[in-house]
Chain A
C-alpha cells in the first residue's frame, strides 16, 4: 500500500489560499489520491480525488505532480469553518472493498 506523508499542522489567514501538501512517493499507477477532512468530533467529509490530472470542484482544487509522487490540496479562500484535520489518502483496492487507509493528517487552523 502506498503511504502518505503530511505536515502535522499548518496555519492560514482567513480569506487566503490554504495549500496543503502531501507526499506519496510509493504510489502505484492505478491508485487514486483522495482528500478528506474531519472537523472536530464529526465524521470525515469527502473533499476531492484524482488520478493524474488536476481536479477542481466547489470545495477545492487538487494539483498532482507529473510523477504523481506528491500532491497539493488548495482551498482558494479559507474561512474559519475550514479549520479541520485534512487527510491525504491513497486508495487501496481489494477486489470490491476499496479500503481507505487514513494517516494522522494535517491540522489546518484558519485564523482571523
Chain B
C-alpha cells in the first residue's frame, strides 16, 4: 500500500529564517506530486506540482520554491520566511493515469 509522509508536523520559525519541508511517498513510483497551502479559515491553494524528477511547475508567484531531487521526494523551501508564509502545508500525490490525489498529514508552519 502507498503512504505519504510529511515532516515536521509543526514548525515555528522567525521572520527571515530559512525553511525546508519534506514530503516522501512510499509504495509507488513516478507519481505526480503537489504542494498546497491552507491559510487559517481558507481553502487550499496549489503552490507547486511536479510530474517527474527535477520538473517543477509553480502556480503562484511567492516567496517559496520547490524541488524534487528523487522520484518520491518533494521539498518545499524558502530562503527568508515572511509572516504571510504561515499556514498549513499539505503534500499530495497522484498515480499517473488515475484521477485521485492522496494527501499527507500536513505541516503547520507559524512564522513569528
Contacts and interface: CB of A to CB of B under 8 A. Distances in A.
Interface of A: 32, 34, 41-46, 49, 87, 91, 95-105
12 contacts: A32-B99, A34-B100, A43-B106, A44-B92, A44-B103, A91-B99, A96-B96, A98-B32, A98-B94, A102-B36, A102-B44, A103-B43
Contacts of B34: 99
A4 B96 CA distance: 25
A102 B46 CA distance: 8
Contact of B49 (A32, A41, A87, A97): A97
Interface in B8-52: 32, 34, 36, 42-46, 49, 51
A46 B100 contact: yes
Nearest to A102: B44
B103 A43 contact: yes
A43 to B, nearest CB: 3
A42 B59 CA distance: 23
Contacts of B44: 44, 87, 102
Contacts of A104: 42-43
**Count class of interface residues, chain B:** 20 to 34
Interface of B: 32, 34, 36, 42-46, 49, 51, 57, 59, 88, 90, 92, 94, 96, 99-106, 108
Q: Considering the complex of A and B, which 5 residue pairs feature the smallest CB-CB distances, nearest first?
A: A43-B103, A102-B44, A102-B43, A104-B43, A44-B103
B33 to A, nearest CB: 10
A96 B88 CA distance: 26
A97 B103 contact: no
Contact of A45 (B45, B88, B99, B103): B103
Nearest to A44: B103
Given A98-B99, A99-B59, A100-B101, 18 more contacts: A34-B100, A42-B106, A46-B100, A46-B101, A87-B43, A96-B96, A98-B32, A98-B94, A98-B101, A99-B34, A99-B49, A100-B46, A101-B46, A102-B43, A102-B44, A102-B46, A103-B43, A104-B42
